[in-house]
Amino acid sequence: MAHATAPAKLILCGEHAVVYGQPAIAVPLADLRASATVERGRPGVGLRLRAPDLGEIWDAGADEATPLSELARATADRLGLAGDLEITLRSDIPIASGMGSGAAIGTALVRALAAFAGRELAPAEVAAMVYESERGYHGTPSGIDNTVVAYERAIWYVRGEPPAIEPLRVAEPMRLVIGDTGVRSATRLPVAAVRERYDADPAAFEALFAAVGDVATRARAALAAAELILLGALLDENQALLEQIGVSSPELARLVAAARGAGALGAKLSGAGWGGVMLALVADGTAERVADALRAAGAARVLATTVAEG
C-alpha cells in the first residue's frame, strides 16, 4: 500500500491575466488537502478508482472520457505498473471553488502511484503530468494550479514554454480567511467567457490584464517587505479589475464587502470566479471577526489559514 497527499491552493493575485502572459502569485494551503491510497486489487479488478466521498467507483482502464482516468492510466504506464490496482481518492477541498481541487487530487494520485512503484518524481515532472489532466477539465488552464500544488510553496508564475516559476519570498506570515460562496462554477466557463470578451475587444482587455500584472508585481514586493497593509490595498485593487473583466458575482461581492466591513486589510475573489471562494487578508486578532461577518453574509463555509514562506 502507498499513500500520498497534496494541498489546496489559492491565487493571491493575477487570475485570468495569467492566461495571457501576465504574472500571478499563488499559495498552497497546507492544512487543506486531497489524498490518494494505492493498493493491490482483487484479481480481475483492473485499474479501479474509488471516491468514497462522492459514492463513486469506476474502472479507469475502461473509462476513456474522464481526465482523471486518463491520468491514472498514463501514470501507471509511465511507472511500469501493471496488474490489478485499486486507488482510493479523498479530499477536504471544495470542488469547483477555485481552490485547485482537481490539481490536488491529480497530484496526490500521481504521487501515490509513484510511491507504490518505489519512485519519487520531481515536482516539475508531477506538475507536467497533472497539467495534461487539467486541460481535460478546464480547456486552456494557465498551468498555475498544478504548479503550486506540486511544488507546495508560494510561487511567482508566468505562463510560457516552459513557464517561469520562482519561489516567492514571504517575509511575514499571512493570515487569510477564506469564504466559500457555495456556488459552484466550472473553471472553463468563466475562462471561455473572458476569451470571448478578449477576442471582441483585445485592446481593452490587454490593458486590463496589464493592470492586473502590475498589481501582482507590486504585491510581490509588498510580500518581500512584509508590508501587509499595502498588500491588502493591492488585493482590493485586483478585485476591482476582476469585476471589470467580468468574473465576479453578487455572492462574491457580498462576501468581499462583508470582510472589508469587518476590518480585513483587503479582500478579493480567488480563482476563476462566478462563484467559488474569496479571500481576506487579516491582521492579528481580527480573523474571528471577519469569519463571523462572512458567515452572517451567507458564506457556505469559512476557513482560516496562515501562509508562510516554507
Asked if residue 188 has pLDDT above 90, the reply is no
35: pLDDT confidence band, cut at 50, 70 and 90?
very high
Cell numbers linked to 35: 489524498
pLDDT attached to residue 137:
65
39: pLDDT confidence band, cut at 50, 70 and 90?
very high
Chain segment 72-130, per-residue pLDDT in tens: 999 999 999 988 999 999 999 888 778 888 899 999 999 999 999 999 999 999 999 99
Chain segment 262-305, per-residue pLDDT in tens: 999 999 999 999 999 999 999 989 999 999 999 999 999 999 99
Asked if residue 307 has pLDDT above 70, the reply is yes
- What is the rounded average pLDDT for all residues in the chain? 92
Which residue did the predictor score with more confidence, 140 or 23?
Answer: 23
Which residue among 59, 63, 145, 236 is the active-site one? 145
- In one-letter notation, the amino acid at residue 89 is L
Catalytic residue status for 145: yes
Alpha-carbon distance of 54 to 40, in angstroms, equals 22
Question: Domains in the chain and their CATH numbers?
Answer: 2-167 (3.30.230.10), 174-307 (3.30.70.890)
Mean pLDDT to the nearest integer, 239-264: 98
DSSP per position, the chain: -EEEEEEEEEEEE-TTGGGGT--EEEEEEEEEEEEEEEEEPPTT--EEEEETTTTEEEETTT--S-HHHHHHHHHHHHHT--S-EEEEEEE-SPTTSSS-HHHHHHHHHHHHHHHHTT----HHHHHHHHHHHHHHHHSS--SHHHHHHHHTS-EEEE-SSSPEEEEPP-SSPEEEEEEE-S----THHHHHHHHHHHHH-HHHHHHHHHHHHHHHHHHHHHHHTT-HHHHHHHHHHHHHHHHHHT---HHHHHHHHHHHHTT-SEEEEESS-SSSEEEEEE-TT-HHHHHHHHHHTT-SEEEEEEE---
pLDDT attached to residue 63:
66
17: pLDDT confidence band, cut at 50, 70 and 90?
very high
28: pLDDT confidence band, cut at 50, 70 and 90?
very high
pLDDT attached to residue 134:
77
